[in-house]
């Protein structure tokens, strides 16, 4: 024995428990899947920042970030890409195992696209009321639609399907806020600020978002704070959604018992990805106002958009009206979330409005009056 107490050159045997799960075939598949998702991003251009025409003498610019021009037609293309990368890098998405999602439609369209890209099956668990066009798009991208009558059962049904099939419940409502790189990496907020660089008001007074998962508003709000901008973030919430009450009362248990009529936004429970403390302001927008606003958008810029775009636009116009009233110049940004062609038999159908008991006339007149006079009614 030497002075250190060691018995020999190799020392005593030290047992080590060593389990190696690495599988070269799986790692080769994973590498290829991640390459395909990254290559899709690399082939894609940024989305446009359009202008909503306002009287020049107001000194206010209103912009719409047009997320309908992504390859799968909505802001959910960004989210689906992030969720797939997160699931792949975490080892949750595996070769041949199905990816399953609870979705009101748009996310599922984008996820079906990414599932097809990397060659895994995809099943969307959706409310039976989801627009026919969205279901057609999910199937076009090779996905399968699985309907539930009560939207509140979507999550449990998706989790159960994943459990039964050995698939992965990708769960946008939990992971949206963390799968997206909120500090930058060309997220939606970084892109907006980049596109505003040469404008007369490059730092918007307000950015107005809507919330489904809450992921988009969380990303924008965190980014503006992280970058120390003075921009404030407003979330516009439709009827039959608990986000507004839950935010105002600081109540994580807030809930509603009916589904939202504005597809993609407004939730019956406070979703884990909704980050209320980062939101500066919220507005509750009547559904008829959302529809009136989205129809006014078509008159203003010649483009149809989905109902959630109208919800955000209504709130943005109200904020612009406040700025006019205060004599304050500046800019406001909101989003075109998805294209109106998906909703020809709902928001663009007068028969559907009548069936729903929605009278958009007073709201349409309010917008026309505001654009002519600068005064917001009421």
Ligand X SMILES: Cc1ncc(COP(=O)(O)O)c(C=O)c1O
Closest CA to 115 of 89, 87, 134, 156: 87
Positions in 73-102 near ligand X (CB under 6 A): 74-76
Of residues 265 and 371, the one with the C-beta less far from ligand X: 265
Binding mask 21-60 for ligand X (x = CB under 6 A): ----------------------------------------
**Closest chain position to ligand X (CB):** 264
The rounded distance, in Å, linking the Cα atoms of 55 and 252 is 41
One residue of 72, 110, 213, 241 binding ligand X per CB under 6 A: 213
Residue 110 in the binding site for ligand X (CB under 6 A): no
Q: What is the DSSP string of 217-240?
A: HHHHHHHHHHTT---EEEEEE-SS
Residue 252 tokens read as 């994580």
Q: Which residue has the tokens 């999910």?
A: 138
308: Cα within 13 Å, side-chain hemisphere: 32
Residues facing residue 209 across a β-bridge: 235
Closest CA to 159 of 172, 177, 143: 172
Residue 131 in the binding site for ligand X (CB under 6 A): no
CB-based contacts of 149, cutoff 8 Å, min separation 6: 127, 128
One residue of 47, 210, 260, 315 binding ligand X per CB under 6 A: 210
Binding mask 292-331 for ligand X (x = CB under 6 A): --------------x-x-----------------------
Smallest gap from Cβ 306 to ligand X, in A, equals 5
Of residues 167 and 214, the one with the C-beta less far from ligand X: 214
The rounded distance, in Å, linking the Cα atoms of 26 and 211 is 36
Task: By CB under 6 A, name the binding residues for ligand X.
Answer: 74-76, 104, 106-107, 176, 210-217, 263-265, 306, 308, 337-338
């Amino acid at each position: 024995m030497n002075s250190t107490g060691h018995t020999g050159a190799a020392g005593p045997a030290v047992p080590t428990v060593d389990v190696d799960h690495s599988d070269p075939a799986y790692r080769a598949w994973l590498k290829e899947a991640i390459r395909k998702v990254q290559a899709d991003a690399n082939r894609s251009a940024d989305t446009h920042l359009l202008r909503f025409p306002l009287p020049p003498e107001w000194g206010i610019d209103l912009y719409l970030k047009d997320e309908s021009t992504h390859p799968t037609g909505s802001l959910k293309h960004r989210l689906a890409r992030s969720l797939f990368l997160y699931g792949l890098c975490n080892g949750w998405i595996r070769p041949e195992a199905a990816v399953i999602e609870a979705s009101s439609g748009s996310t599922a369209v984008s996820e079906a696209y990414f599932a097809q890209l990397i060659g895994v099956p995809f099943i969307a668990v959706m409310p039976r009321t989801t627009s026919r066009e969205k279901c057609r798009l999910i199937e076009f991208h090779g996905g399968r639609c699985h309907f539930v009558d009560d939207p509140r059962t979507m999550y449990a049904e998706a989790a159960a399907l994943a459990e039964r099939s050995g698939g992965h419940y990708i769960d946008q409502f939990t992971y949206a806020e963390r799968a997206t790189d909120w500090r930058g990496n060309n997220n939606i907020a970084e892109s907006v600020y980049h596109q505003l660089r040469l404008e007369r008001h490059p730092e918007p007074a307000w950015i107005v978002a809507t919330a489904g998962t809450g992921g988009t508003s969380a990303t924008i709000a965190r980014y503006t704070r992280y970058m120390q901008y003075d921009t404030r973030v407003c979330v516009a919430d439709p009827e039959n959604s608990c986000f507004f009450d839950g935010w105002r009362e600081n109540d994580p248990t807030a809930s509603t018992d009916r589904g939202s009529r504005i597809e993609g936004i407004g939730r019956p429970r406070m979703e884990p990805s909704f980050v209320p403390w980062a939101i500066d302001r919220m507005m509750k927008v009547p559904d008829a106002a959302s529809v009136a606003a989205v129809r006014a958008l078509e008159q203003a810029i010649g483009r149809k958009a989905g109902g959630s775009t109208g919800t955000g636009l209504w709130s943005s116009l109200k904020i612009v009206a406040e700025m006019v009233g205060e004599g304050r110049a500046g800019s406001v940004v909101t989003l075109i979330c998805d294209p109106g062609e998906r909703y020809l038999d709902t928001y663009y159908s007068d028969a559907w409005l009548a069936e729903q008991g929605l009278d958009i006339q007073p709201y349409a007149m309010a917008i026309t009056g505001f654009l002519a006079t600068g005064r917001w009614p009421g």
